[in-house]
Structure 1
Amino acid sequence: MSNPTVAVFRPDDERLDRATDLLDSLGMDPLPDPMLAVEPTGARPREDADYTILTSKTGVELLPDGWTPGGALCAIGESTAAVLREAGYTVDIVPEEYTSGGLVDALAERVDGARIEVARSDHGSAVLLDGLESAGAYIHETVLYELRRPPEAGESAVTAADRDLDAALFSSSLTVENFLSAAADRDCEPVALAGLNDALVGVIGPPTAETAKEMGIDVDFVASEADFDVLAREAADRLDC
């Protein structure tokens, strides 16, 4: 019996290499199909805030040399916090729930009148900014990088259309949107969507699940933690690998 074919959409760097190695070690045949390409902006976050928020590992890696965060340093999840610590920063706040809403909940009662610097991608969730502004904070956002869909993306959509895809693992709302736009570019969106809904679909986080459902995708499970390794292992369990 052949191993299940599982699509993974991580950016084409060490994250994709690590993800495919993990899937392979868990008894799956990875189908790497990067749906995100990172384009750094070269922007420098402000250093005079009362709270500074980093939302991703990529954002941490793109911080300019010599940059010092203002006030309390917040990470939206433990994986981002770990990279910050490795870079020599002290992380003051990590929410219990690794989502934008979770961070808003963690900060809401302490940020009235505070200045908050948010350093992230151009596709950051509005939930974070809207929630903190509603709590009375003054927000400044720095876009550290832009996310684009690589023009060659879409092999997984064709595989889904051919009913040869056993599972797909989405790590963000943008990977969901880009999967369907890549399918449309290859003139197979309806059949790719049907094939995807015959496969196991796992996602990281409720926002990604909501986006998928809004776009007609049947989500089978949300990872118990906002971490790709957890997503992959829980998919393996469901596929009986």
Structure 2
Amino acid sequence: MVQTPNLIGKTIAITRALNQAQETAKMIEELGGKAYIIPAIEFKMPDDLTPVRTFIEEIEAKKASYVIFMSSNAVEFLFKEAAILNLSKKLEDGLNKATIIAIGPKTGETLKKYGIKLDFLPREYSSEGIVETIQKMGLSNEIIYIPRVKNAGPTLREKLEALKLKVQEIPVYEQILPKDGDLAEQFVNDLASGSIHAIIFGSAQSVRNLKKILENFLPTNRIKLFMEKVTIVAIGPETAKAIKEVGLRVDVIPKSYTFNAAIEALIDYWKQDH
């Protein structure tokens, strides 16, 4: 982690869900910056838990030998849903019989909290790192199960399918639009005044949601005008693609798909006199 206070005088907007933004805000403040929390996303459980029940039954029957977790959210929601279905023990036992891959150490820590062993952690905390790990394992014609957000981007699935693997994605949570209008209105005012220096997007849905939020107060051309003054950070290619699709540019993409890596990449970008 970067230790020197490299963010003095900088205000960085964080679009994470409110219950997850505090950790990122703390890092920004420790580096001398001001964290501006503008939640562009909330998480909820899917209405239909049938896919989760099916997954737990398959993993208990040892039909699911390889499981990838792409976020701590996926782990937390999966275990909440298993508890609702009275299948917690079956889920724990099944996962501990399978080969488990986590995208990063925080996801690994969340698995450990629930008593699940972690078998593989990629060298690079990204979809590319996951694919590299799978390639080194030499898998072929296996089924890879991925409990993850509903309507996730296709990048990982397509890359795994290109390796002749079958992919089963289990929707364990959904991303929805927050409803705090007062917070959004203040953000628009601060954006217009030029007091926000950077904004970090962690998912494609957070990009689309923030656009919807801003459009309640501003026409699209004004949004683009104000965002031209802001350094835009995208965590991952799916997020970068969504930013470009709404007509904005992407300035920074960290190599690892974490908010900590995003902040470090932002500091490096600004050091280059951008």
TMscore range, shorter length: 0.7 to 0.9
Query: Within 1, Cα distance between the matches of 2:144 and 2:64?
Result: 5
- Tell me by how many angstroms 1:11 deviates: 0.7
Aligned twin of 1:5: 11
Q: Which amino acid aligns with 1:107?
A: I
RMSD: 2.4
Among residues 216, 241, 253, which one is paired with 1:185 in the alignment? 216
Aligned twin of 1:75: 102
Aligned twin of 1:18: 23
Kept in 2: contact 1:160–1:193 (CA 8 A): no
Query: Within 2, Cα distance between the matches of 1:188 and 1:169?
Result: 22
- Tell me by how many angstroms 1:99 deviates: 2.5
Q: Deviations over 1:83-120 (max 9, x none)?
A: 22333222122223322343234325733221221101
Among residues 218, 230, 239, which one is paired with 2:249 in the alignment? 218
Structure 1 residues 157 and 100, CA gap change in structure 2 (3 angstroms): farther
Aligned twin of 2:67: 52
Kept in 1: contact 2:124–2:255 (CA 8 A): no
- Tell me by how many angstroms 1:213 deviates: 2.7
Q: Which amino acid aligns with 1:37?
A: E
Give SS of 2:16's match.
coil
Can you give the 5+ residue segments of structure 2 that lack an aligned partner in the other structure? 1-7, 83-87
Give SS of 1:222's match.
coil
Structure 1 residues 139 and 230, CA gap change in structure 2 (3 angstroms): closer
Higher helix share: 2
- Tell me by how many angstroms 1:9 deviates: 0.8
Structure 1 residues 239 and 105, CA gap change in structure 2 (3 angstroms): closer
TM-score by length of 2: 0.76
- Tell me by how many angstroms 1:228 deviates: 0.9
Structure 1 residues 24 and 16, CA gap change in structure 2 (3 angstroms): same
Aligned twin of 2:180: 152
Can you give the 5+ residue segments of structure 1 that lack an aligned partner in the other structure? none
TM-score by length of 1: 0.86
Aligned twin of 2:194: 163
Q: Which amino acid aligns with 1:60?
A: V
Query: Greater CA radius of gyration, 1 or 2?
Result: 2
- Tell me by how many angstroms 1:229 deviates: 1.7
Number of residue equivalences: 238
